[in-house]
Structure 1
Amino acid sequence: MSRPTWKALGAVTGAAILGAVLWQTGIDPVLTGLRSLDPVTLALGVALGVPTTVACAWRWHIVSRELGVRVDLGTAVASCYRAQFLNSTLPGGVLGDVHRGVRHGRDAGDTARGMRAVAWERLAGQVVQAVVAVLVLLLVPSPVRSTMPAVLGVLLVATLAAALLIWHVPSPEPPSLAGRMLMAIRDDVWRLVMVRHAWPGVVLASTVALGFYFATYLLAAHAVGVTASAFTLLPVVMLVLLAAGLPLNLAGWGPREGMAAWAFAAAGLGAEQGLATAVAFAAIVLVASLPGAVVLVVASARRRRVRPVPQAPGGPPLPVVQGGTHG
C-alpha cells in the first residue's frame, strides 16, 4: 500500500470512528473537554510532557546506538518534540516519526537504517506498553478482565508466528525487495537481542514515558470532573492509550476517542465523560508538543541561511551564506 493511500485510509478511518462517537454522544462532551482546560492545567500538562519526551528520546538514543546510527540525546529530544507536534497535527499520527527517521538517517548517512531505528524504538515502546496493559487488565477489575486470558493466548501465538517468519523463512536469491527487508529485520533483531545491556534502558524509558502519559490522562480526567480514583481509571486509561497508538487516525483523533467513550461507559463512568476526557487529553498533548513547532521554525530558518547559487559552467555550486554562519 502506497504512503498516500495509507494516509488517506488513516484519515478516513479516524474520521469515521470520531463521527460515530459524536453521533452517539453529541457535540457537548467535546465542548466540555475544551472548556475544562485552564492555564494551570495546561501548564501542568506541559510540565508532564518534558519527562515524557526525554524518556522517549532516551529510548531512541539507546536503540539508534545499537543499530549504528547513534543520535545524541539533545538532538533526540528536539526531534521527538518536533515529531510529537507533527503527529498531533497531521493525518495518521505517525508522520512526525517518519520525518525524524528520514532526517536522522540522512544525517547519519543511512536513511533506511535511520528509519528502522525509529520504527524499532516505537515498537519497543508499544511492546512495553502492551505488556503493562495486559498485566493491569489481568490483575485489576475492568470491563475486559474476563477476556484477557484469550487475548494473551492470541498475542503469544502471534509473537511466535512472527518469530518463525523472521528466522526460518528463506530469502530468495537474488534477494527481492521483500527479501532484503526481511534480512534487514533479522540483522536488527539480532543486534537488539544480543546487546542485553540495552534492554534495561529501553524498558525503563518506555515505562517512564507510559507513567507520565497516564499522569497526563489523569490530569485531563480531573479537569473534566471525573471523580473516580486512579486505581479505577488505571485499566480504562490503559485501553485508551493502546487505542491511541493505532496509526489509523486523523491527526491522533478517532480510535482514542472511540475507546475512551466505550471504556468509560463499560466502567460505569459514562461515554460522555470518556469523550470529554479524551478531548481534554488531546488538547493538553497538543499544547505540550508546541516546543516542536519552535524546533520546526528554527530548523527551517537554518536551512534558509544556506542556499545554492546557479552552477557556473565547469564548476560546482557554491553556498551563499545569509545572516551569519550556518550552525
Structure 2
Amino acid sequence: MSSPAATRAPRSRVAFFAVLQVAVTVGIFAILANAWGITPFIDAFRMLPWWSFPAAAVLGGLGVLTQALRWRVIAGHHDIVVSLGPAVARCWQAAFLNGVLPGGLAGDALRAADDSSDADVAAGRSALGRAFASMAAERLTGTAVAFGAAGLALLAVAPLFGVAALGVAALAVAIAWRWLRPLSRGELTQVVLLSAVGWAAFAALFTLTIGAVSPSVPLAWAPGLAAIAIAGMSVPLGFGGWGPREAAAAWAFSLAGLAPHLGVTASVSYGLLALASTLPGAVILALRALPRVNQARRARAERHSRQAAKHEPIEPAF
C-alpha cells in the first residue's frame, strides 16, 4: 500500500508541469503583445467570418474521425476492440480536454485510462499499459506527420530547421515503432494515410483562417505556413496548444517575408475555430460523466444511510 507522501509526489509533479505550461503560454503571449501590441489578438476575434465556424466544425469533425479510425487500427493489435461510435466519442472528448487543459495530452490520457464498458479490453495486469501504448503510438504517428510536413516546408527557407523537424518526425516514428510493429504493411499504410488526411483537415482549417484574416497572403503559401504552425502546436509546452503555435506562426510568416503579427492573428483565429470545433466533445464528456456522478451520489447516500443505521439507538421493548 502506497504511503500518502508517495501519492502526493506524482500529484505535485503534475501540478508543477501544469503551472509551467500555463506560464509558458502566458510568457509567449506577453512577448508577442510587447512586440506588436494587442491588435493582432483583437483582430483574431473581429475578422473571423460567420461561415468559418461551420467550416471548422466539418474539418474538425473530419480530423476526429480520422484519429478514431487510426486509433482503432492500432488498438486492435493491443487486444483492445473499440467500435467506431465510441472511438469517435472518446477522441472528440479528448480533443476538447486537450484544448482546455495544459499540455494538450490530458484528454488522451483519459481516453487511454477510461475503463467504461464501450470497449472490449483483454483482461490482465497489462491492460492499462496496452491502452496507453496504443494511444501513444496513435499520437506519435500524428506528431510524425505534423513535423514531417513542417520539415518539408522549412527545407527551402530554413534548411537547418527543416532537417531538425524531419529529425523530430523520425524520432517520433522510432519511439512508436515498438507499438506499431505488430501491424501489417497494409495496416501501417492505412495508419499513415489516415494521419495524412487528419493533418490535411487541420491544415485546411489554418489555410481557411489565413485567407479570412490575412487576405494579402498568397494562397499558395498558406499550406506551408500552416504546416509550421501546426508543428509548433504539437509541442506539449503550452496550454492546449496556445503559445507555441502563435510563436511558430509569427516565425513562419517572417520567414516568408510577411508581417509576423499577421501570423499571430491567423494562429489565434485558428485556435478559436479549433476550440469551437471540439465543443461536441464537451457535450460527450457531460453525458459520459453524468451517470458516474449519479452513481457516486447514490453510493455516498447508501453509505451514509448504513452509518446512520449503525448508530441508531435501540428502543427498549416493554
Structure 1 unaligned residues grouped into runs of 5+: 167-184, 314-327
Q: Which residue of 194, 202, 212 corresponds with 1:213? A: 202
**1:35 CA drift (Å):** 0.9
**1:227 CA drift (Å):** 2.7
Match of 2:143 in 1: 126
Aligned length: 285
**1:189 CA drift (Å):** 4.7
Separation in 1 of the partners of 2:267 and 2:168?
27
Separation in 1 of the partners of 2:199 and 2:165?
20
State which structure, 1 or 2, has the greater radius of gyration over its C-alpha atoms.
2
**Aligned partner of 1:253: which letter?**
W
Equivalent residues of 1:30, 1:275 under 8 A apart: yes
1:2-151 aligned within 5 A: 2-103=13-114, 108=121, 110-138=127-155, 141=156, 143-144=157-158, 146-147=159-160, 150-151=163-164
Match of 1:226 in 2: 215
Match of 2:303 in 1: 310
Change (3 A) 1:104 1:204: farther
**1:55 CA drift (Å):** 0.5
The range that moved more, 255-264 or 99-108, is: 99-108
Equivalent residues of 2:112, 2:131 under 8 A apart: yes
The range that moved more, 304-313 or 206-215, is: 304-313
Equivalent residues of 2:71, 2:134 under 8 A apart: yes
**Aligned partner of 1:135: which letter?**
L
Match of 2:179 in 1: 188
Q: Which residue of 280, 288, 293 corresponds with 1:291? A: 280
1:22-76 deviation digits (Å, cap 9, x = unpaired): 2111111000011112321111111111111100111111111111122222111
**1:137 CA drift (Å):** 3.3
1:301 aligns with 2:290: yes
Q: If the length of structure 1 is used for normalisation, what is the TM-score?
A: 0.79
Match of 2:3 in 1: none
Q: Which residue of 246, 249, 267 corresponds with 2:256? A: 267
The share of aligned pairs that are identical, in percent, is: 29
1:154-212 deviation digits (Å, cap 9, x = unpaired): 559x749x96xx8xxxxxxxxxxxxxxxxxx88635424xx323101101110000111
**1:136 CA drift (Å):** 3.7
**1:312 CA drift (Å):** 9.6
Instruction: Identify which of structures 1 and 2 has the higher relative contact order when contacts are C-alpha pairs closer than 8 Å and 6+ apart.
Output: 1
1:80-110 deviation digits (Å, cap 9, x = unpaired): 1111111111111111111111115896352
Change (3 A) 1:222 1:159: closer
Q: If the length of structure 2 is used for normalisation, what is the TM-score?
A: 0.81
Name the SS of the counterpart of 2:114 in structure 1. Answer: helix
**1:290 CA drift (Å):** 0.4
Name the SS of the counterpart of 1:262 in structure 2. Answer: helix
Change (3 A) 1:292 1:150: closer
**Aligned partner of 1:265: which letter?**
S
**1:283 CA drift (Å):** 0.3
Match of 1:181 in 2: none
**1:148 CA drift (Å):** 5.4
Match of 1:169 in 2: none
Name the SS of the counterpart of 1:269 in structure 2. Answer: coil
Equivalent residues of 2:40, 2:265 under 8 A apart: yes
**1:268 CA drift (Å):** 1.7
Equivalent residues of 1:134, 1:152 under 8 A apart: yes
